[in-house]
Amino acid sequence: MILHAKHHATGRPVAVTVENGRITAVAGSDQNPQQWLAPAFFDPQINGCLGISFNSQSLTPEQVRTVADTCRAHGTGTFLPTLITNSFDAIRHGFATLEQSREADAELRRRIPGYHLEGPYLSGEDGPRGAHPKEYIRDPDWDEFRRWQDAAAGRIRMVTVAPERAGAIAFIEKLTAAGVVVAIGHTAATGAQLRDAVKAGAKTSTHLGNGSHALLPRHDNYIWEQLANDDLWASVITDGHHLPPAVVKCIVRAKGVARTLLTCDAGSLAGMPPGKYREWSTDLEVLPGGKIVVAGTPFLAGSGHFTDVCVANVIRFAGVSLAEAVEMATMRPRQLLGLPVNTIDVGQPADLVLFDWQPGGDVRVKQEG
């Protein structure tokens, strides 16, 4: 198969030959392609979609494949299935089912290099807690985590923690020593607690600007503290609902493209029609336009969109180039997690995305690479 498209980084027409899942040749194209080609997106935070939750105690391998295929249709070739705050048994079931799915499906082994645990070691305060069920919020427990890691066959690659929880700093140190990337999120921590977390090994912030109080001190607060810390990367949800354009622009300007990664944070209700639903032991509502909230509140509960929407929006909101947006959606999460970076070069995996895009417009995925 030969793909004729414009290279996402240079804009030049290229002809990319693909054989047996690998790129075997890259040359200039003698055609005039209008579509663009990039490495497939990598999203570090996918909770599910189409009514399927990775937290569900009835999760099946077939449902895991459905989520992966849906993400791929939106250009996301690789992602971290994300489990959120829940009971011990529910989380263990989720990881065990994900492992069962990978073992039985070679395609899922390629698409899912690991998992993200977002909770339950988070703030219990309304606002920072977000949509995470309060009854399951608790302090870090290393033995509990190890049992989840055993169920996940050692593939929990990222854990989101609130540093102010009792025992959190020692927990962060143990995670870091075990090679797990620690993210700060859903936190009401003080500046000192955040700085201690970074010293202990925390590397990034989970969806910075979200999972926070509606009102904060204008100067001394945990968003500014994380934004200013040069040792922290940050993920941002640029679905158009979680953060206004000006905030996205400020975060990207502060962190730079080199320390920013995009996530859609797709929730289990992504792709579902407007209406009220019961998920995560919580009443949720999908509003017209795809915004998902805890029913009757302004609190967001995951995203109704996918990574392709986030790539287009970060260009519009932050004034970055297509090449920079693709970097944040492909290269940066891989670098943070210590995974190989995919490029459009001979010998590389043919994990590609072909899409239509015009400046100021949407990213419209055309086909798999």
- Does residue 120 have a cis bond before it (omega within 30 degrees)? yes
Identify the H or E element spanning 96. Answer: helix 88-104
Instruction: Exactly one of 265, 308, 345, 356 is catalytic; name it.
Output: 265
Q: Give the closest residue to 60 by CA, choosing from 70, 71, 48.
A: 48
CA-CA distance, 140 to 44, in Å (whole number)? 22
Q: Residues 311, 363: contact at Cβ < 8 Å?
A: yes
Neighbours of 175 (CB within 10 A): 24
Neighbours of 310 (CB within 10 A): 32
Please identify which residue in the block is written with the tokens 């994990």: 351
H or E segment to which residue 286 belongs = strand 282-286
Is 141 catalytic? The answer is: no
Rg for the chain, CA atoms, rounded? 20
- Count CA atoms closer than 13 A to 81's CA, side-chain side: 36
Provide the token pair at 133: 């069920």
Q: Which two tokens stand for residue 30?
A: 């003698």
Instruction: Evaluate whether 164 touches 197 at the Cβ level (below 8 Å).
Output: no
Helix (H/G/I), strand (E/B), else coil: 261: strand
Dmax over Cα atoms in the chain, in whole Å? 62
Structure token digits, residue 18: 């693909």
Which residues does the annotation mark as catalytic? 265
